[in-house]
C-alpha cells in the first residue's frame, strides 16, 4: 500500500473509519502517521544536482 493511497482517501471524502475498513492491515495511528508525513513533505529541501562527465 502506498502512503498516497492513504492521503488521497480523505481528499475524496472517505472518513477515518472508511479508510480503516478499506485497509484492514493498518490502524488509526498508521493513518495519522501518513498524514503527518505528508505534512512534512513540503519542508524537504531540494539539493541541486550537478552532472559531471567521467
Residue 13 is given by DSSP the state: T
Q: What is the pLDDT of residues 3-26, one digit of tens each?
A: 888 989 988 899 999 999 999 999
pLDDT at 43 over 90: no
Residue indicated by cell numbers 502512503: 3
Output the pTM of the full model.
0.69
Cα torsion angle, 27, 19, 38, 50, sign = positive
Amino acid at each position: 500500500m502506498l502512503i498516497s493511497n492513504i492521503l488521497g482517501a480523505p481528499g475524496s471524502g472517505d472518513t477515518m473509519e472508511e479508510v480503516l475498513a478499506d485497509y484492514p492491515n493498518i490502524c488509526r495511528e498508521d493513518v495519522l502517521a501518513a498524514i503527518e508525513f505528508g505534512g512534512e513533505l513540503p519542508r524537504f529541501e531540494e539539493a541541486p544536482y550537478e552532472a559531471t562527465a567521467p
